[in-house]
Amino acid sequence: MQVPLLDLKSQYQSIKHDVMKITGEIFESQYFIMGPHVVQLEQEIAAYCGTKHAVGVSSGTDALLISLMAAQIGQGDIVITTPYTFFATVGSIVRVGARPAFVDIDPDTFNIDPQKLEKLFHDMDAETRTHVKGIIPVHLYGQCADMDPLTETAQKYDIVVIEDAAQAIGAEYKGNRAGSIGDLGCFSFFPSKNLGAFGDGGIVTTNSDHLHARLAILRSHGSKPKYYHKIIGGNFRLDALQAAIVSIKLKHLDAWTLARQENAARYNTLFQDAGLGEWVVLPAVTEDRHIYNQYVIRLKQKRDQLRQFLNEEGIGSEIYYPLPLHLQECFADLGYQQGDFPVAEQAALQTLALPVYPELTSDQQNYVVSKIKAFFQRGD
Ligand SMILES: *Cc1c(COP(=O)(O)O)cnc(C)c1O
């Protein structure tokens, strides 16, 4: 049996008719940049996330970059984030000229640990503290970071909160949607995200009129009116084609999310029934709405051998992420070392994402869990 990590082809069949119709219309109009489809998607995403505004942009990475620019974070500033995330979170901080400061993660959720955040501030000298301008919590795998204590710390030190919600569209924290909790929320429409475009795309959410106005100007080279520039922006625009396709997919998102949640629950039951507790740690169960962009287990041993075995048996899996950001070669000049963030470092050695996409069948899930059981029972 083949079980890919993600199968977008079957999803495409369910929306193909609508996609062909709308893209045909856009081709006929030859109107590709911004326009009514982008405006419509912005209104729909703002409503979906419970924010006042949304600004469509060229990618999730650019959503982070333009958010930092909108918040006027740059040279000499410090931005706090997690070392256990996709590269773009940290890359965008460095690209605006700021310096990342890492805080280790919670071992159960893999999200930034609010107690260690408070400790970072506590241990920081007063001069350094004045340079801290923002924090980027990441809602990893589709589960929100613990935002209440984080927001409290951010308010205490008067810093901007930029949610990296690239993996978490529709996720909730105590009833509030990802992207509506901080000052800015960053989303990605990369095809493997729960709401993916047919190419690159992203969006930024905010409740602030001021930040919304800055985002809208920065997105088109900082120009307002056209060809007059008070600030320096870039080309961060979202294509009409991508916006129209994402709008179509948004109508299906809640059904797809429900299917992911059901798949996650089925894995939990299958793993418990298989009695694999000695080897496998299941994802932390939460009251909040988890959208399962990934279903990630922790292997207490032999993660890489298991992955190899699953690959041979036709089962796709992935390691998010194999090397924490503080140990990446390109950030060596930040001066971090092995051992600085032990929880993230251990996660990098133990996590494995299994297929959880909406169209996955229960037969495929039975097969995945039975193969994992077979691997550990053969015991070599
Ligand atoms: C995917 C992702 C991004 C970047 O999004 P792109 O659209 O690929 O640029 C940023 N942060 C996280 C946590 C992501 O998963």
Tell me, in angstroms, the distance from the centre of ligand 1 to residue 20's CA: 27
Which of residues 231, 250, 269 is at a domain's end?
Answer: 250
Tell me, in angstroms, the distance from the centre of ligand 1 to residue 214's CA: 22
How is residue 193 written in tokens?
């995200």
Q: Looking at ligand 1, which residue's alpha carbon is closest to its atom 6?
A: 60
Q: Do 292 and 245 belong together in one domain?
A: no
Which of residues 222, 250, 278 is at a domain's end?
Answer: 250
Mean pLDDT of 74-85: 98
Number of structural domains found in the chain: 2
* Closest atom of ligand 1 to CA, residue 202: 7
Please answer whether residues 197 and 246 qualify as being in contact, where contact means their C-beta atoms are separated by less than 8 angstroms: yes
> Could you tell me the CATH number of the domain that includes residue 369?
3.90.1150.10
Residue 294 domain flag:
yes
pLDDT tens, residue by residue, 20-34: 999 999 999 999 999
Q: Do 240 and 284 belong together in one domain?
A: no
- Distance between CA atoms of residues 103 and 81, nearest Å: 6
- Distance between CA atoms of residues 93 and 80, nearest Å: 9
pLDDT tens, residue by residue, 296-323: 999 999 999 999 999 999 999 999 999 9
* Closest atom of ligand 1 to CA, residue 293: 15
Ligand 1 interacting residues, C-beta cut-off 6 A: 59-61, 85-86, 88-89, 138, 164, 166-167, 188, 190, 200, 202
Q: Do 266 and 233 belong together in one domain?
A: no
> What's the CA angle centered on 189, arms 187 and 194, to 5 degrees?
90
Residue 3 domain flag:
no
Q: Do 269 and 349 belong together in one domain?
A: yes
Tell me, in angstroms, the distance from the centre of ligand 1 to residue 93's CA: 14
Mean of the per-residue pLDDT values for the chain?
Answer: 97
Please answer whether residues 241 and 32 qualify as being in contact, where contact means their C-beta atoms are separated by less than 8 angstroms: yes
Residue 40 domain flag:
yes
* Closest atom of ligand 1 to CA, residue 201: 7
Q: Do 319 and 330 belong together in one domain?
A: yes
* Closest atom of ligand 1 to CA, residue 189: 7
Percentage helix, strand, coil for the chain under 3-state DSSP, each rounded to 5: 45, 15, 40
Q: Do 93 and 39 belong together in one domain?
A: yes
Q: Which residues pair with 78 in a beta bridge?
A: 99, 132
Residue 2 domain flag:
no
| pLDDT attached to residue 380 | 59
pLDDT tens, residue by residue, 137-195: 999 999 999 999 999 999 999 999 999 999 999 999 999 999 999 999 999 999 999 99
Tell me, in angstroms, the distance from the centre of ligand 1 to residue 60's CA: 5
Give the confidence band of 285 by pLDDT, cuts at 50, 70, 90.
confident
Q: Which of 84, 290, 62, 46 shows the shortest CA–CA distance to 186?
A: 62
| pLDDT attached to residue 207 | 98
Using alpha carbons, list the distances in angstroms from residue 216 to 47, 95, 247, 330, 350: 18, 20, 20, 31, 41
Candidate from 65, 89, 198 with most ligand 1 atoms within 8 A of CB, to mutate: 89
Using alpha carbons, list the distances in angstroms from residue 210 to 216, 289, 340: 10, 30, 38
| pLDDT attached to residue 286 | 86
Q: Do 40 and 159 belong together in one domain?
A: yes
Long-range residue pairs from 213-217, CB within 8 A, at least 24 positions apart, any chain: 214/69, 214/70, 215/53, 215/55, 215/66, 215/67, 215/70, 216/55
Q: Which of 151, 145, 135 shows the shortest CA–CA distance to 64?
A: 135
- Distance between CA atoms of residues 306 and 353, nearest Å: 12
- Distance between CA atoms of residues 133 and 90, nearest Å: 15
- Distance between CA atoms of residues 193 and 234, nearest Å: 24
Which of residues 201, 227, 250 is at a domain's end?
Answer: 250
> Could you tell me the CATH number of the domain that includes residue 153?
3.40.640.10
pLDDT tens, residue by residue, 193-224: 999 999 999 999 999 999 999 999 999 999 99
How is residue 80 written in tokens?
């706090």
Residue 84 domain flag:
yes
Residue 151 domain flag:
yes
Q: Do 232 and 257 belong together in one domain?
A: no
Tell me, in angstroms, the distance from the centre of ligand 1 to residue 72's CA: 21
Q: Do 134 and 73 belong together in one domain?
A: yes
- Distance between CA atoms of residues 259 and 173, nearest Å: 20
pLDDT tens, residue by residue, 334-371: 999 999 999 999 999 999 999 999 999 999 999 999 99
Q: Do 47 and 186 belong together in one domain?
A: yes
Residue 29 domain flag:
yes
- Distance between CA atoms of residues 322 and 373, nearest Å: 23
Q: Which of 293, 6, 329, 349 shows the shortest CA–CA distance to 165?
A: 293
Residue 339 domain flag:
yes
Q: Which domain holds residue 131?
A: 8-103+110-250
> What's the CA angle centered on 135, arms 42 and 153, to 5 degrees?
115
Q: Do 245 and 262 belong together in one domain?
A: no
Q: Do 339 and 279 belong together in one domain?
A: yes
AA letter at 186:
C
- Distance between CA atoms of residues 88 and 91, nearest Å: 5
Tell me, in angstroms, the distance from the centre of ligand 1 to residue 154's CA: 23
